[in-house]
Structure 1
Amino acid sequence: MTTQRPQPTRRPRPFGRALCAMITPFTATGDVDLAGAQKLAAHLVTEGCDGLVLNGTTGESPTTTDAEKTTLVRAVREAVGDRASVVAGVGSASTRHTVALARAAEAAGADGLLVVTPYYSRPPQAAVEAHFLGVADAVGVPLMLYDIPGRTGTRIEPETMLRLAGHPRIVAVKDCAYDLLGSTKVIAGTSLAYYSGCEELNLPLYAVGGAGFVSTVANVAPRTLRAVLDAFDAGSTAEAARLNGVTLPLAELMMASGLPGTVTTKALLDALGLPAGPVREPLQSAGPERVGALVAAYEAMRAGQ
């Protein structure tokens, strides 16, 4: 008689487990391709994503207008209905601007808001805390805090995160801090749902109590990335590790080879016949040699599943 070992009880996942940091498709003339965004969103949900994060770094938020951001949220909400959560990136360097973006995204149908640490001005921790609390107080939907000091210049320190966890609408974190110790400390001490924002940490963070991932690579490999979590939840840690290893060469080529993830993702999506289009300047499209390497890595990943 085979005895199944009980699986650990996992904390709530307010936006699902497998979230894609979705690109923003553009037309050949550089306009937002709303029909393409709806097609891609529906495809990603069918392929296993239970959440979509719009208007983030991968979505080229620095070069899209406020109106484009809001229109994109509305279009994707219409496309996926209640089959997946829609989280809207609303972060900016200004608290006032962030609040305005947050209210617009909520009105457009977002289930939650991704709010990044204010960048460039490098506010001290008390100001970082006040910023997030101000946004949370201004809306009626939950927040996912985005901790990515490599881009913003400012960390959300673990002690600050522990205090912010007391707000009823601050429920999750997209973790790009590369501090597994600090993240584990907050996971252990709060009910915050931690989502890995770095592909190489998807499985390690999940193993210590994380909620899942917000992944750029999920634009092209949603089913494979989700399979890692499925295997872990089923108690097959060896299979989870194997599948995780299968994804790493493609993830490394997309995210750590000198080109921004937005560029590599759009290049590969175009090659796969999915909506993407060009990137907006100052970003520039990948060359033919890189596109060929991406396709080869993608095919190798598919063969190794």
Structure 2
Amino acid sequence: MTQHPFGRLISAMVTPFAADGSLDLAGAATLATWLVDEQGHDALVISGTGGESPTTSDAEKESLLRAVVEAVGDRARILAGVGTNNTTHTVELSRAAEKAGADGLLVVTPYYNKPPQAGLIAHFTAVAGATGLPILLYDIPHRSGVPIATETLVRLAEHPNIVGVKDAKGDIAATADVLRRTDLAYYSGEDSATLPLLSIGAAGVIGTSTHFVGPRTKQMILAYERGDVAEALDLHRQMLPLYTGIFRTQGTILVKAGLRALGLPAGPVRLPLADATDAETDQLRQDAKAAGVDL
């Protein structure tokens, strides 16, 4: 049976900023409430890469997490993105997130310094032992530079606090093997791969375009689970232009452009990201329209 430790529909929520680039906590609470109450999200990731975690301070991460937990923590699971390429720092962020009320942690593979698999095991094990929170590993080698190998995932699955994976590896055979050999819950880390991953036992998605197509994405997941593959495939095809279009420039940039178009809290991005140009926003509107979304 597929496990759903954090539900089925999750978005890596963007972090709203004010016009001057400061943290917009009221906007974050408003956006989280909209995603949960109107878009049907089961959980949110706060301070993931989509939340511009590389450019927010530790204090900002804690304040943001507390604001979202207060706004929707009684109606959705809240995961804190705590992954860094420094094990000690990741442990510190994990403990702070637990104190701030997080329900779980998303821990990305240490990036840039390219640790060996033995280092990954030691890193993730140290983080998993630092709190009592359940953990999703984030396997995204095209950004981190290092994949989490199958044997590493199988070994890490033995830790009681490591309950799943956000999978953006793009290797469906490797993912199928891990699902065959462990009880880890897999969440697609690439919007367009959600349906294929469901076919091998995935639990759902931690998405980007799901800021705009959350209800239909959940409908697709539930249709597949009840055996209505034709409906699931039809929904996948409907949303595909936005599943892929949201990444034409960069996911966070275009999500914020779309939210601004809808009059929802978003604000600018922080450098080194750059706000969407008029042409990029127009293209986003076209991709969204092709997916049945009016921006």
TM-score > 0.5, shorter chain as reference: yes
CA deviation profile, 1:128-153 (whole Å, cap 9, x unmatched): 00000000111110110000111111
Q: Distance in 2 between matches of 1:151 and 1:209?
A: 25
Structure 2 counterpart of 1:150, from 142, 149, 165 = 142
1:31 shift after superposition: 0.8
Tell me which residue corresponds to 1:275.
Answer: 265
1:303 shift after superposition: 6.5
Structure 2 counterpart of 1:31, from 8, 13, 22 = 22
Q: Distance in 1 between matches of 2:265 and 2:186?
A: 29
Counterpart mapping for 1:38-117 below 5 A: 38-46=29-37, 47-117=39-109
1:231 shift after superposition: 1.5
Tell me which residue corresponds to 1:173.
Answer: 165
Q: Distance in 1 between matches of 2:196 and 2:124?
A: 27
CA deviation profile, 1:5-53 (whole Å, cap 9, x unmatched): xxxxx32211111001100010101011111111111111121110101
| 1:301 paired to 2:291 | yes
Q: Which amino acid aligns with 2:268?
A: P
Report the secondary structure of 1:32's partner residue.
Answer: coil
Q: How many residues align?
A: 293
Counterpart mapping for 1:108-127 below 5 A: 108-127=100-119
1:299 shift after superposition: 2.8
Q: Distance in 1 between matches of 2:136 and 2:50?
A: 16
2:83 and 2:110 in contact (8 A); partners too:
yes
Unaligned residue ranges in structure 1 (runs of 5+): 1-9
Tell me which residue corresponds to 1:288.
Answer: 278
Q: Distance in 2 between matches of 1:19 and 1:141?
A: 18
Q: Which amino acid aligns with 1:263?
A: I
Counterpart mapping for 1:92-241 below 5 A: 92-241=84-233
Unaligned residue ranges in structure 2 (runs of 5+): none
Q: Distance in 2 between matches of 1:272 and 1:225?
A: 19
Q: Distance in 1 between matches of 2:27 and 2:160?
A: 35
- Give every structure 1 segment of 4 or more consecutive aligned residues whose post-TM-superposition deviation is greater than 2 Å: none
Structure 2 counterpart of 1:260, from 250, 258, 264 = 250
Q: Which amino acid aligns with 1:87?
A: L
1:80 shift after superposition: 0.5
TM-score (norm 2): 0.97
Q: Distance in 2 between matches of 1:210 and 1:303?
A: 26
Q: Which amino acid aligns with 2:208?
A: T
Q: Which amino acid aligns with 2:194?
A: N
1:120 shift after superposition: 1.1
Q: Distance in 2 between matches of 1:269 and 1:299?
A: 15
Q: CA RMSD in A?
A: 1.2
1:90 and 1:114 in contact (8 A); partners too:
yes
Q: 1:164 to 1:303 in 2, by over 3 A?
A: closer
Q: Distance in 2 between matches of 1:119 and 1:158?
A: 18
1:271 and 1:295 in contact (8 A); partners too:
no
1:117 and 1:156 in contact (8 A); partners too:
yes
CA deviation profile, 1:160-192 (whole Å, cap 9, x unmatched): 000000000000100011110010100111110
1:294 shift after superposition: 1.2
1:82 shift after superposition: 2.0
Report the secondary structure of 2:241's partner residue.
Answer: helix
1:69 shift after superposition: 0.6
